[in-house]
Structure 1
């Protein structure tokens, strides 16, 4: 009989890249908590901003996401082993001794390190996402006891397709040729050619993920390979902390920006289905994908679209309505203005609203700060928000369709007990409860707001509400007053014209009245 998930991972040595990232933290936490009998977990880490890898690991283990591990099994942290290195360096920057250790001991690889910025320059994105993966594949090929290589990609790796199947697609360009081009070509020429090179995709992130999958597939047959493609990754659904999130990417940034009154308009088709998946479900799926692939030892690359297509059907409008509901229930203490605004189906209406609700207030606030001798910030903030929205709005103005039978089939490959522990069925998710925890999570983990300050936050929220209504009424009054004043000026002008015509000696009263009527 096949071992269950916990039995399979017993005694295994796991190598993880991107362990300090959002998905990486969730994956690491789940392994420590529910696969605690692993022998060792090797983490590729580098010194960052003068902080050593050892210090970074210590800081990582102190994060709230690991609270349950510290409480139930603190000794499991001893299984974490640092591999000093860098995904962007030749040979991963790993020492010869560490290379030999991994070649001898490693059984499972989770490769999740990637640059997730959509606006990264092509050279940097290729070096991190594509060449970095080649460095990992080269190392994996030399490992003596490797059972499975799991590569994390994205469900938005082929945006040109109407439906994304669970299979590897041939890249538009050969990945090795692209790596070669960015290596020798000067930055100015590459920047000029970049729009043409990545024209099949909306940004360098999506493009490099697409060509990297083709590269990964070159190694099929050499060792078991699986590709996991999550859609938009969002806050924790169930474990370890409902609502936990530690970055401002994607929907999280929109939740916070809208809740703080900074984002008031967005180009989005409200009737389109949204596809986002919680980070704990992604981590669970990765663990099961490695388990199944390690048991089956397939010769061909296995692909899993970690998406909600056919599982949960929520529109962007429904999600935004729920988010607005809970942002008003659990407001932020520090906010620029009362939440408001709406999503726009048409780009022109969004641009008009952006001018009046984003740009004009930004210039007014900065002008006031300048007059008070304070440092200005609103114009630069709005520029960054506008750039972020422009990137994200590509995904909110198009409907996406993903096949995910392989992913949904994972639950049929494990025992009922493992299904409870490594849940992948998101059909039982309550959107209302999830958005509630999401908003609370952004307050606590992203904005560092104590739940105890909610009464004060709600009081400030009411003040912002009254100020918002007052200024809206004032604005309407000024418009009406302006129209009323202009109507008096217009009437006076017509009367002056009428008297002037009547005063002309060669014009009779009838002609004067006729011309006056035309003017009116």
Structure 2
């Protein structure tokens, strides 16, 4: 589909977005405002005590972010007036019926006016209770439950579910390299750069399927455009492993090279030196390494502190912190680090 047709699709449309202050929602809203300023209205759901608080939170946590740099440079002092002519932040929460909105007139207007809904609300809490039901964490468990509910209740409304792999920083739009916080594999990378992660666990053939945020948003936009008038349900798997797979050893080499050439600067202004990330392919070897490299020295330090009035207290605290970081990362990513399947391309004929 031509770009002109895609842009025309969003002209004079009213779009409801949930999870407005989240990473992907910011990229989506910025993109539409930048490429299609003739969008009719964004109704943006924000968790807040009232609409005024929602507007303030939107201003602080969305508009002021660097993702709006291009629009800010183009519009200058007119940026906020441009945005608020097209945007209405609404206080609400997706965990309540009608988003917890008490204003019946507003609810009626939303039912009547909204053309497109982007549900981007989520929690990235990796609580482990989901393991009781056979899921690796609550994040994937609740995503699956949400999809099941949508499949059951969407009736004749067009429904497109976009399942991206590990979302990372922007590739091109609105500019390269924008990210907010440490996400998915970024947590591993930053922990390594800070010198807190020296070893990791994973299969050497495990594919780390990462995809830039702007590519995910482009996929979401295409899904909206191509399935807007079809009373059906379709699921898109969006990733990079089909054409550009990156395996775990490649990540180890790349981050080692990067942080050697561009070391992280600590709070004292000193460069943090890193050595190549050690990747273990089985749990037994990893556990033996952790016991010798960390747990044994921790016991020695514990005994030394008893005899020397906590003389090595800070050293033990720092070492123990590194152990907790490694074990937390391994626990979170173990279900994925040993997954070796490759995304395949299928076409319905």
Shared fold, TM over 0.5: yes
Cα pair 1:261 1:336 within 8 Å, conserved: no
Aligned position for 1:68? 70
Residues 293, 321 of structure 1: alpha-carbon distance in 2 compared, 3 angstrom cutoff: same
TM-score, normalised with respect to structure 2: 0.84
User: Given the alignment of the two structures, is residue 345 of structure 1 paired with residue 266 of structure 2, yes or no?
Assistant: no
**Number of residues of Structure 1 aligned to a counterpart in Structure 2:** 329
What is the distance in 2 between the residues matched to 1:35 and 1:385? 45
What is the distance in 1 between the residues matched to 2:221 and 2:243? 20
For the residue of structure 2 that corresponds to 1:52, the secondary structure is: helix
Residues 116, 359 of structure 1: alpha-carbon distance in 2 compared, 3 angstrom cutoff: same
Shift of 1:245: 1.5
What is the distance in 1 between the residues matched to 2:232 and 2:162? 14
Shift of 1:219: 3.2
For the residue of structure 1 that corresponds to 2:153, the secondary structure is: coil
Q: How does 1:94-493 map to 2 (within 5 A)?
A: 94-96=101-103, 97-119=105-127, 121=129, 195=132, 198-199=133-134, 201-294=135-228, 297-334=229-266, 338-340=273-275, 341-359=277-295, 371=311, 376=317, 379-380=320-321, 382-405=323-346
Higher helix share: 1
Gaps of 5+ in 2: none
Q: How does 1:26-45 map to 2 (within 5 A)?
A: 26-45=27-46
What is the distance in 1 between the residues matched to 2:172 and 2:295? 39
Larger gyration radius, structure 1 or structure 2: 1
CA offsets 1:330-388 (integer angstroms, 9 cap, x no match): 11111795322411101112122233445466775996995388795653564254223
Residues 361, 289 of structure 1: alpha-carbon distance in 2 compared, 3 angstrom cutoff: farther
Aligned position for 1:53? 54
What is the distance in 2 between the residues matched to 1:40 and 1:284? 20
TM-score, normalised with respect to structure 1: 0.58
Shift of 1:90: 3.7
Shift of 1:249: 2.7
What is the distance in 2 between the residues matched to 1:39 and 1:274? 39
Aligned position for 1:409? none
What is the distance in 2 between the residues matched to 1:72 and 1:389? 44
Residues 373, 389 of structure 1: alpha-carbon distance in 2 compared, 3 angstrom cutoff: closer
For the residue of structure 1 that corresponds to 2:118, the secondary structure is: strand
Shift of 1:92: 1.4
CA offsets 1:180-227 (integer angstroms, 9 cap, x no match): xxxxxxxxxxxxxx61xx22x322222222232222112344211101
Residues 358, 34 of structure 1: alpha-carbon distance in 2 compared, 3 angstrom cutoff: farther
What is the distance in 2 between the residues matched to 1:29 and 1:374? 45
Residues 271, 320 of structure 1: alpha-carbon distance in 2 compared, 3 angstrom cutoff: same
What is the distance in 2 between the residues matched to 1:238 and 1:358? 41
What is the distance in 1 between the residues matched to 2:310 and 2:219? 52
